[in-house]
Amino acid sequence: MREWWRDAVIYQIYPRSFQDDNGDGIGDLPGINRRLDHVASLGVDAIWLSPFFTSPDRDMGYDVSDYTGVNPLFGDMTDFKALVNRAHDLGMKVIIDQVISHSSVEHPWFKESRSSRTNPKADWYVWADPKKDGTPPNNWLSIFGGSAWQFDTTRKQYYFHNFLTEQPDINFHCPAAVDALLESMRFWLEAGVDGFRLDTVNFYVHDVRLRNNPPSDWTSFPNNPYEAQNQIHSKTQPENLDVLRRMRALTDQYGDTMMVGEVGEMGNRQVEIMGEYTSGTDKLHMAYSFAMLSHDHSAGHFRNCIETFQKTAPDGWPCWSFSNHDVERHVTRWTKPGGDAAAVAKQAIALLCSFPGTLNIYQGEELGQTQTDIEFDELQDTANIAFWPEYKGRDGCRTPMVWDADAPNAGFSTGKPWLPVKPPQAENAADLQEARNDSVLHSYRETLAFRRKRDELRLGDTTFLDLPEPMLGIRRGTATGSLLGLFNLSDAPRTLTIKGKVTPTGPQNATLEGAKLTLPAHGFVYLDEAGRVTVA
């Protein structure tokens, strides 16, 4: 029997920004519950909830102080269970974040660990002695700027943090710590979740010898010094696979559950790690990376990502997405100034649905939502403040959902939202798009429904056509049929010649006259093939 997640479309919900039902300006679990009909109407198979756990919120919930608690900002356990039940009633699975590579400094485990060098949890976090001159143990850097080591005056040692100083890394070389993390995951499986999204899954294990990272291959120094290093020792260690096997053994006890891991790496290596972590049946079910969350919108890039994965792990499974809570929204990344953002959005979902694997979409992209321009005094993502203004942080993609254009804060909250709802975003409100048959929202529903009914797109083999930029041609085929997707990834019309019999089908905006196929700017078409055709 084919597992549900292999064909799935997953919808990511950022709880803080989805729907506020108690008027405090912050989204909550009851609000999500109330809006689940909208999510189900898209035809998705599962929701992924970003962190809602107990946290001091130095990194918006990605600094967890209680792995089995619900942050009162979002509600309580009763609210969570009601949400799970409602999602299941609507035919959707529920996946939750697990942020276990690090915790908050407020976590009781860390408070005990830092209290002495001899306490029962002394080795639950990564501690190391200073060098003789008092400097950190090695040259490892934090993604958020500066050294990845913070000195603690009680232990007179440094602790390791890949991210904020308030996010100490857990020591995965310590069996007791891993046992405790697995038990926290079991808690949520018992509560009825259908799987996990594993944050920074390749960051779990560090080099126990604490060797320096070598420099990366850069021609000009990057904006973030972290990128100047090749992190071959601070993450992605071979022992990481053993941790994943323990996690898989746990989830396999709970039937039809799954794990999708976030791979944080650069270049082709990230896709290779996706393959390594999903090969076989004893590690992750699937993985995603930032490979398609970049500014590269070329046909060659998309083809390279997919073919690299297929070559690296023919028995692995990928999850592809164009946007999430960490990156600039793809409509903004890929639309030139003055360009047609709605056309880019409609093409994007058609393009994504042509790819093999599981698909992930981020709240608001079904509205063609654009990046919000955040001013310094509106900033909430202070984790990245060291890089302002060259990098304005992640707030611009995290602003609230827009439901009703004429309501205060576009229907998100009756109170002042934690991030502003600005006019360019309110113009994409769901109620306005419901009223227009040609809206991005209706395009998402149409395209996802088309994918659902076409075995070629869900189950078929994948090959690419050799077409020049900016044209991408992808063929998806089964034993009973072949479907060809053609995409013009530019803002100027393009013409192709089709040799062979084809029939346009599904969502499209192209024109076929005889053998001449014209694709407008950001054009796309699906073609049923009657035998193998050629395209030039």
201, 263 contact by CB (below 8 A): yes
> What length is written for the chain?
536
Instruction: Please tell me the distance from the alpha carbon of residue 398 to that of residue 325, in angstroms, as a whole number.
Output: 6
426, 412 contact by CB (below 8 A): no
Distances (CA, A) of 164 to 102, 130, 170, 385: 10, 19, 13, 12
Burial class (CB in 10 A: 0-12, 13-18, 19+), 248: middle
Instruction: Please tell me the distance from the alpha carbon of residue 197 to that of residue 95, in angstroms, as a whole number.
Output: 7
| Phi–psi pair at 288, nearest 5 degrees | -135, 165
Of 21, 265, 395, 456, catalytic:
265
Instruction: Please tell me the distance from the alpha carbon of residue 154 to that of residue 171, in angstroms, as a whole number.
Output: 19
Residue 106: active-site member: no
Distance of CA 439 to the CA centre of its chain: 24
Residue 129: active-site member: no
| Phi–psi pair at 517, nearest 5 degrees | -110, 120
Of 199, 272, 366, 395, catalytic:
199
Instruction: Please tell me the distance from the alpha carbon of residue 302 to that of residue 308, in angstroms, as a whole number.
Output: 10
**Widest Cα–Cα separation across the chain:** 79
| Residue 60 DSSP symbol | T
Instruction: Please tell me the distance from the alpha carbon of residue 304 to that of residue 471, in angstroms, as a whole number.
Output: 14
Token match 């070629």: residue? Answer: 456
Q: Which of the residues are catalytic? A: 199, 265
